[in-house]
Structure 1
Amino acid sequence: MPEGDTVYRAAARLRTALVDHPLTRGELRHPRLSTVDLKGRVVVGVRSAGKHLFIRFDRNLSLRSHLMMDGAWDVYTPRMRWRRPAHQVRALLVNAERQAVGFNLHEMALVPTDEESRLVGHLGPDLLDPGWGPELEAEAVRRLAAEPDRALGLALLDQRVMAGVGNVYKAEVCHILGVTPWSPVSAVDAGEAVRLSRELLDKNKLVVDRNTTGDLRRGRDLWVYGRRRSGCLRCGGPVVAGVQGADVRERVAYFCPVCQAGPRSSG
């Protein structure tokens, strides 16, 4: 599931494959961008901002994309077979050595590079910002603590609070903190919640197999997320999957009734 670490890792792959190389082919298969031809443009940078990804070209142009639930950026050599069908391709950036293929991309937009903030300025501090430090941490803590009665799980998912946490990390952070996702923000130390979220994302930003437990043995990588059949990794008891949020923001919320205190909702 694409979360901040997935997008960070995708940006790193694209950076290696594309930066400083002119495009021999540059197509955007999107209704509003289908007439754009990026051939000849030089990629000068790639960055992630929470769950958003920006590919920067020369002459002050940036392509923004979002992976949502099903998007991906893959990198191939010219003769490699794509891992997904061609009808899912939304962006194709090719140079002499690599093909960068964007599948099922969302929120695609071309903007002047110096106006990127217009698209992501509403986000809270990016947990994987290379410049992360006391100021960004303090701002994230301030935003998280601003609504003490809000359900912690929903606050963690709110990219306006801090950018990068998705449903997997929501479940894992709540479990490590010992509270259910429906517990109010005031039930935990906001600073601890921010630092833990940052720590888990940072630890996983360059690895494919996400791990929040520190146990590298097979099947022991997550505490509760997706463990309805196998049980809580800490106590061995059953993991419950409830529903949190509404409409398009509705998400499954995994928790352990033994290890996590607080209100709960069963699904």
Structure 2
Amino acid sequence: MAALLEVKNLGISFGGLRAVDDFEVTIKKGQLYGLIGPNGAGKTTVFNLLTGVYKPSEGIITLDGVNITGLKTIEINKAGIARTFQNIRLFKELSVIDNVKAGLHNHYKYSTFEGILRLPGFFKIEEAMTEKAMELLKVFELENEADYLAANLPYGKQRKLEIARALATDPKLLLLDEPAAGMNPNETMELMNTIRFVRDNFDMTILLIEHDMKLVSGICEELTVLNFGRILAQGATGTVLNDPQVITAYLGE
């Protein structure tokens, strides 16, 4: 299976602090891959490097054969990387469906002139966006809440909405930053099924940061473990989670 994401010798320093050092990973198309490690290990920094929030001090990021190193966040999103956040970042004052439609604007465009004058082209595109947004909401069983304010959704459904909005950008690679954070066991199990469904039905490649080891061991095929910004272990999930160094550094045993 071909590689979708290849990262080589990625690093960044903040002042005198080496936050990420010589990070490398290869993620195949269609893979469900996990990035784990203790708090402060550099996981979110890696996500920020992959999405253009930070520019790396060195290293190369290649997405589907294209070098995206140093591009701006919006350019990387258009190239095919979308993400969610540990702290949910919805447009909470907007409706559920409008949150999804916000993610569709990369692919559905009309001119300012058409929008101001409400010309036929505007309504045609708006109708197509609404239809596509409803299709995504149905996938996540949110169609009945389409007109709710996003702020009024229960926590678990807000997580689903954030994933739906990310998928609306039509990414090749979906980055999930601690998607199970704050969830109870039942919500986590439902999330696990949702992530599998997204991978299988959207032909999606997924990289996630997660502390819930039940979720990680249940869905991730391979893992990279970070510790103090460097790779501690890498490989098949079962092998990595049984590595004595990982158990000592991450599980605290």
TM-score relative to the length of structure 1: 0.25
Q: Kindly indicate which of the two structures has a greater share of residues assigned to strand.
A: 2
The structure where helix makes up a greater share of residues is 2
Query: Which one scores higher on RCO, CA 8 angstroms, separation ≥ 6?
Result: 2
